[in-house]
Amino acid sequence: MSAVPESSERTQPPLSAEGYLVEMRDISVSFGGVHAVNDVTINLRPGEVLGLVGGNGAGKSTLMKVLSGAQVPDSGQILIGGTAASIHNPRDARTYGIECIYQTLALADNLDAPANVFLGRELVQRTGVLDDPAMEDATRRLMKRLNPRFENFRSAVESLSGGQRQSVAIARAIQFNATILIMDEPTAALGPAETAQVRDLIRQLKTEGLGIFLISHDIHDVFDLADRISVMYHGRIVDTVDKDQVTTDEILGMIILGKKPGDATREELDAFRIAG
Amino acid sequence: MSEAATPSALSVGDRLRQLPHSGRALARTADIDTRLVGLLAALAIIWIGFNVATGGSFLTARNLWNLSVQSASIAIMATGMVLVIVSRNIDLSVGSMLGFIGYTMAMAQTTWLPEAFGLGLGHPVIWIATVILGIVLGLGMGLLQGFVIAYGFIPSFIVTLGGLLVWRGLIFQYAQGQTIAPLDTTFRLLGGGPQGSLGEWGSWALGLIAVAIVIAGLLLLRRRQAKYGFQVRPVWATVVLGIVAAVVILGAVWVTTAYPWPENLANQYAQQHGLEIPPGGFIIPTGIAYPVLITIGVAIVMTHLAERRRFGRNVYAIGGNPQAAELSGINTKRTIMLVFGVMGLLAGVSAIVQTARLNAAVTGLGVTNELDVISAAVIGGTSFIGGIGTIPGAVLGAVVMQSLRSGMVQLRVDSPTQDIVVGIVLVAAVGFDAWLRRRST
């Protein structure tokens, strides 16, 4: 029935020979003549947070839409645990353990937390009747782990705070044994306390062995949470670097100039410093 | 299990704080739908108001029995319209569908089945076959419209506006303005009337069964919630709810049985059965009319579908956030198509009730019914924002509308004035609802 995996019983997902959970190879997506994503290769290990940064229209969200099945790529290959995956829609993605937490939250505001957590995958009794108590119970147990102060299990989520709504969205993502999490601006709509709460949550999911793609405009979010950072610029990856080996300035430079620190000219760097 | 939720874990202070302070808090503690209570209060005011204005002729068994029968057809369709509006759609074609289905059923039972199939008039298969035909035809028409809406990406307003014209046009085309009457004698009973009712003992038996089911349901819910250690409705609330439900159900049964058959019909019955007619006249209690029985059955099934089934949950999710529903893997297109299928099926059921009650099919059957049905759903709390609305609310909405009309008829208010009043009530009800909603959030 309601299988809420405790952290210890989370099944280990298969990995590729190099230890990758996900490999996206040579992915391209174009809209009309515009290359939204241009020949991008990116990968993710279990227990790793990969920060995806870049200006507006750099292609971060489109790249992640490809992984979550919301966008079919023109070319390229996705490998999950070392084997080729065919992802054509969100349902496909889910069968590979990929869950997405969208910028706009994607909750049904008129329903309560359990109904949202189990949206599209409702638990039913043998007679086909919804098993609301079981769904509420599973949600309560999940929330005890994610957000112990959460207690509004029977009111419509529209009446909840931003942070509480975000925990409902995250609960929904991890309820079904997700191994790969895509978070698109998870703290964009939140206040400082709620942001801290969500950051704690991400750290916890990381220790449980999930691989997380984190899209964020907030460079502090990224530096706080990510192990590696990929910078995108006009549909391409500028560079993927270990967080410990870069400074925020270097990342900002890559976001704005679209070049690695070594490749930028004196003038460009000076201009950037003045602008920054 | 969640030990934090068990009452024993609460301190005395927590318990004190949980005691209800206001009406709204009281309703929350007792787990009662405040909107529904408000609607019931409005209905009570309307009833009492008309009773005073008519000098006591509104709250009579006879009038209430008639009211229940008159509300049936709109109430049946309103339960389907709730799901349609909740899913952010609209169905303007229900009146025309009803007309078309009614006409087809009338042809089937007076011409096709008796002649083409050689059953002869009055054969018991005729009414059953006709009923099945009406329901299946309605389902098919609804699914067709739903298919065009969901898979053709054409707004439901347009598709069903087209449906409104097409189905009505088809009636005129093949009926050529003719009325088909009379209908099969057994089929006719489905429209109510003295013979088309459960009678005294049947009504009481049904009432008692209903009370038993309500009590069993309340207890079952307690047990299920307690099993998971959830907050359970306080015992006093369960007891009060049980008593209120029992009083309402048995009271309604009592009212229907207090309405006797018309005297000449009763006397005729007595003569046929060789019974002696007492000095006060022979009295046969009417009981619950079949259309009302059908309405109650439909309301129960639809409530179950809306609240206790995946289908209903998904419809509400689509209404709340269509994108979220799609992204969560719900097959939104199929769900929308089925919503319209259900709506069509219910138009079929209403067509049975209306043609049986009229004992005829006329070309104007069901004209402007779509407006009454939409009004009933909206007065009952269904919101055009989507995602919000209840089946019992819509049924009550239909009763409120019919009460207004019936009361005004008794006060000899002319038909245009009736329309003006109903129109104002409709807008005021929605405005009031929106105001309440804004205040509560």
Question: pLDDT tens digits, residue range B51-106?
Answer: 999 999 999 999 999 999 999 999 999 999 999 999 999 999 999 999 999 999 99
Domain boundary among A176, A191, A220: A176
Lowest mean pLDDT among A201-210, A236-245, B26-35: B26-35
A84 and A198 part of one domain: yes
- Taking the Cβ of residue A276 and every Cβ of chain B, the question of whether any pair is shorter than 8 Å is answered with no
Does the CB of B243 have a partner CB in chain A at under 8 Å?
no
Q: Which of residues 46-85 of A touch B (CB under 8 A)?
A: 70
Characterize the bridge pairing of strands A75-80 and A22-31.
antiparallel
> Domain range spanning residue A145?
108-176
In terms of CA atoms, which chain B residue is nearest residue A119? B328
Asked if residue A6 is part of any domain, the answer here is no
> What is the average pLDDT value for chain B, to the nearest integer?
89
Residues A148 and A200 in one domain: no
β A180-184/A211-215 pair status: parallel
3 state DSSP class of A81: coil
B2 inside 8 A of chain A by CB: yes
Residue B227 has its nearest CB partner, among A111, A130, A133, at A133
pLDDT band at A189 (very low <50, low <70, confident <90, very high): confident
Mean pLDDT for the stretch of residues B372-398: 94
Where along chain B do its domains lie? Answer: 32-197+289-440, 198-288
Together in a domain, A170 and A133? yes
Top pLDDT among A275 and A173 is at A173
User: Mean pLDDT, to the nearest integer, of A132-136?
Assistant: 91
Identify whether A260 is part of a domain.
yes
**Domain termination site, one of A158, A176, A194:** A176
Q: How far is B327 from chain A (nearest CA, A)?
A: 6
How many interface pairs between A and B have CB atoms less than 8 angstroms apart?
86
Interface contact flag, A102 B328, Cβ < 8 Å: no
CATH class of B32-197+289-440: mainly alpha
Query: Do the Cβ atoms of A120 and B225 come within 8 Å?
Result: no
* pLDDT exceeds cutoff 60 at B16: no
- For chain B, say whether A130 makes contact (Cβ under 8 Å): yes
| pLDDT at residue B346 is higher than 60 | yes
Nearest-by-CA chain A residue for B225: A133
Distance CA B177, CA B167 (A): 14
Say if B227 is an interface residue toward chain A (CB within 8 Å). yes
**Do A227 and A219 contact (CB within 8 A), yes or no?**
no
ipTM for the predicted complex comes to 0.82
Which segment of A84-93, A119-128, B77-86, B343-352 scores lowest on mean pLDDT?
A84-93
pLDDT(A108) > 60 = yes
Mutation to test the B interface, candidates A1, A111, A152, most B Cβ within 10 Å: A111
A158 Cβ under 8 Å from any chain B Cβ? yes
- 10 Å CB burial of residue B208 (0-12, 13-18, 19+) is middle
Whether B389 and chain A come into contact, CB under 8 Å, resolves to no
Distance from CA of B386 to the nearest CA of A (A): 9
Distance between CA A81 and CA A174 in Å, rounded? Answer: 19
Which of B227, B309, B313 minimises the CB distance to A115? B313
Of B316, B330, B388, the CB nearest to A120: B330
Query: Which residue did the predictor score with more confidence, B152 or A207?
Result: B152
Are the Cβ atoms of B228 and A133 closer than 8 angstroms? yes
Question: Identity (one letter) of the amino acid at B138?
Answer: G
pLDDT level of residue A275 (50, 70, 90 thresholds): low
Same domain for A270 and A184: yes
Asked whether residue A242 is assigned to any structural domain, the reply reads yes
Confidence of residue A9 (pLDDT cuts 50, 70, 90): very low
Asked if B85 has any chain A CB less than 8 Å from its own CB, the reply is no
Do A271 and A196 share a structural domain? yes
Contacts of B283 (CB under 8 A, 6+ apart): B260, B261, B266
Cβ-Cβ contacts under 8 Å for A6 (sequence gap 6 or more) = none
Residue A270 in domain: yes
Confidence (pLDDT) at B259: 92
Q: Does B148 touch chain A (CB under 8 A)?
A: no
Beta bridge partners of A22: A44, A80
CB neighbourhood size of A137 (10 A): 24
Instruction: For residue A121, list chain B residues with Cβ-Cβ distance below 8 A.
Output: 328-329
Domain boundary among A176, A200, A230: A176
DSSP secondary structure, B138-199, as one string = HHHHHHHHHHHHHHHT--HHHHHHHHHHHHHHHHHHHHTT--B----HHHHGGG-SSTTB-H
In total, how many domains does chain A have? Answer: 2
| Token representation of residue A89 | 């829609």
Distance of CA B39 to the CA centre of its chain: 15
Q: Tell me if B428 sits within 8 A of B108, measured CB to CB.
A: no
pLDDT above 70 covers what percent of chain A? 93
Residue A90 forms contact with B (CB below 8 Å):
yes
Q: How confident is the model at residue A2, as a pLDDT?
A: 40
Within 10 Å of residue A106's Cβ, how many Cβ atoms?
Answer: 20
Chain B residues whose beta carbon lies within 8 Å of the beta carbon of residue A90: 326-329
Residue B352 in this model has a pLDDT that exceeds 60: yes
Residues A123 and A232 in one domain: no
pLDDT value for A104: 66
Judged by a CB distance cut-off of 8 A, whether residue B308 touches chain A is yes
Q: Does A51 map to a domain?
A: yes
Residues of A in contact with B2 (CB under 8 A): 137, 140-141, 144
pLDDT band at A204 (very low <50, low <70, confident <90, very high): confident
Domain contains A7:
no
Confidence of residue B4 (pLDDT cuts 50, 70, 90): very low
Interchain CB contact of B28 with A (< 8 Å): no
Residues A197 and A270 in one domain: yes
Nearest CA in chain B to A111: B317
Least confident among A13-17, B36-40, B223-227: A13-17
A64 shares its domain with A181: yes
Cα distance from A70 to chain B (closest Cα, Å)?
8
B438 touches chain A (CB under 8 A): no
Q: Which residues contact B154 (CB under 8 A, 6 or more apart)?
A: B148
Please compute the mean of the pLDDT values over residues A113-123 and round it to a whole number. 93
Of B2, B314, B441, the CB nearest to A141: B2
**Contact with chain B for residue A273, Cβ under 8 A:** no
Q: Give B48→chain A minimum CA distance, Å.
A: 35
Residues A186 and A169 in one domain: no
Q: What is the CATH number of the domain that holds A200?
A: 3.40.50.300
In a domain? residue A8: no
Question: Are residue A167 and residue A188 in the same domain, yes or no?
Answer: no
Q: What is the pLDDT of residue B22?
A: 58
Which chain B positions have a beta carbon within 8 Å of A119's beta carbon? 317, 324-325, 328, 330
- The pLDDT score that the predictor gives to residue A150 is 86
For residue A103, being part of any structural domain is answered with no
Residue B72 has what pLDDT? Answer: 97
> Among partner residues A94, A106, A136, which is closest to B324 by beta-carbon distance?
A106
Grouping H, G, I as helix, E, B as strand and the rest as coil, residue B417 is helix
Residue A137 sits at the chain B interface (C-beta within 8 Å):
yes
Backbone angles phi, psi at B349, to 5 degrees: -60, -45
* pLDDT at residue B226, as a whole number: 84
Q: Please provide residue A49's backbone torsions phi and psi, each rounded to the nearest 5 degrees.
A: -110, 120
User: Could you tell me the pTM of the whole model?
Assistant: 0.86
